[in-house]
Amino acid sequence: MEIVWQTPANPPEAKDYVRRNGRRFVRPYYFEFISHVKNRWAGKTIVDMFAEEFKGRPYEYFVSAVKSGRIQVDGQIVPITYVLRSSQKISHFLHRHEPPVMAWDIPVLHEEQDILTVCKPASVPVHPCGQYRKNTVVGILQAENGLAPLFPVHRLDRLVSGLLIFARTADKADQLRQQIEAGLLQKEYIAKVIGVFPEGEQVVNVNVNYNAREGVSTVEAPDQSNSLPLKGKTASTRFTRICTNGHHSIVLCKPITGRTHQIRVHLKYTGHPIANDMLYLSNSATIRSSQGMGSDRTARSAASRATYMPGFIQEELDLMGGHSNPAEEFNIDPMCTHCPNLAPTGYDGLEEGLWLHCLRYSGPGWSYECPYPSWATLSCQPR
């Protein structure tokens, strides 16, 4: 079989996707990952570096990949004892399996010459990041609607749904980003939280400190007994209860600043966290590095695996049409550590989107909004 290696320059196509049981998969494909030797990698052997930095595959895989030329340095096959030097180019040619996302469509809400707005489904990242390249809002819109290029004006976390604004030109994107930087945009979200949220506008002004390694934010409130400076960034959010049924409340959230997970941790700070936010419902967030996966997924992975993993292989075969030969969906790679499954090892596909939804963005002379999600309807009256 002749292998065709893809790079970021290869656009996604409609035929790349497979929908099964409410999930959207990407057919695995051959891809060249390119990176350059970081200072902390220099002086290590090529195999040891990969084994230490990329723990998702066994040591033996990296030995075989180097020997076979699937891992190269500066375009050359090297021995497994090769010692890396700073700034060298490393190419990793592998059979790429992307994580699944929910199979909802991405409806276009508003389209004009220089602006496109869509309703982003939960679980789908906005643009290529980490293990996602084609299973992204940008990739799906290009593959299924021919919409390209698109320039995201703002971002939404992968598990958050709602309004997403794209510029159709780089100039328009710069114009809107300048409005964001100047504080001219108003953002509105809705969230479903635990308990009876207080009446009247509640303003939270506490710093948010994001730990990028662990993927978790914490809040830092001023402490008069401690003169040490706060590490987090200033953050402010305004909350107003829309309605409550005594058990949950629908809350309008207006972030004044835009810190990572700001609404989520500020709601937790009020004592009313988002009702299905497994990362912030507990006082001790599960650490991402302990499991080698995103913290939102890690927070629920232990319970999910206990009941799901025994049937994982069979379900994946069922997802591919009930065939025992996955080659009917894609070519099996003998060196791949994820084949014959469509999804990478460790992605169970049981994620639930957060009950947090971007409702409206407005700026000087313009406003765009997104319909309410189904979970935002409570059997309650405004109180």
Q: Using one digit for the tens of pLDDT, what is the confidence trace for 25-66?
A: 999 999 999 999 999 999 999 999 999 998 888 999 999 999
Predicted TM-score (pTM) of the model is 0.82
Helix (H, G, I), strand (E, B) or coil at 84: coil
Average pLDDT score over residue span 17-27 = 92
**Can you tell me the distance from the alpha carbon of 182 to that of 380, in angstroms, rounded to the nearest whole number?**
39
The lowest-confidence range among 136-140, 257-261, 292-296, 360-364 is 292-296
Annotated catalytic residue: which of 157, 171, 318, 348? Answer: 157
At 228 the pLDDT is: 66
- CATH node for 186-276+352-376: 3.30.2350.10
- pLDDT number for residue 293: 39
Contact, 267 vs 274, CB < 8 A?
yes
Task: Give the up-direction half-sphere exposure of residue 206: CA atoms within 13 A in the CB hemisphere.
Answer: 21
Strand partners, 152: 166
Residue 101 gets which letter from DSSP? Answer: E
Strand blocks (E) in the chain: 17-20, 23-26, 29-36, 71-73, 89-96, 101-102, 108-111, 115-120, 151-152, 161-167, 186-194, 202-205, 207-211, 216-220, 236-244, 248-255, 356-363, 366-369
Q: Which of 220, 300, 297, 226 is nearest to 266 (CA)?
A: 220
Helix, strand, coil content of the chain in percent (nearest 5): 20, 30, 50
And the tokens for 328? 């009917």
Please report the sign of the dihedral spanned by the C-alpha atoms of residue 213, residue 217, residue 222, residue 226: negative
Strand partners, 236: 205
Query: How much is the pLDDT for 283?
Result: 60
Taking residue 292's Cβ as centre, other Cβ atoms within 10 Å add up to 11
| Model pLDDT for residues 307-365, shown as the tens digit of each residue | 222 233 334 334 434 334 444 567 789 999 999 989 998 776 667 799 999 999 999 99
**pLDDT at residue 352, rounded to an integer:** 76
Q: Say which residue the tokens 């409005």 belong to.
A: 179
Across the chain, which distance is largest between two alpha carbons, in Å? Answer: 70
Domain boundaries, the chain: 186-276+352-376
Could you tell me the pLDDT band of residue 117, with boundaries at 50, 70 and 90?
A: very high
Count of CB atoms within 10 A of residue 284's CB? 5
Query: For this structure, is 157 an active site residue?
Result: yes
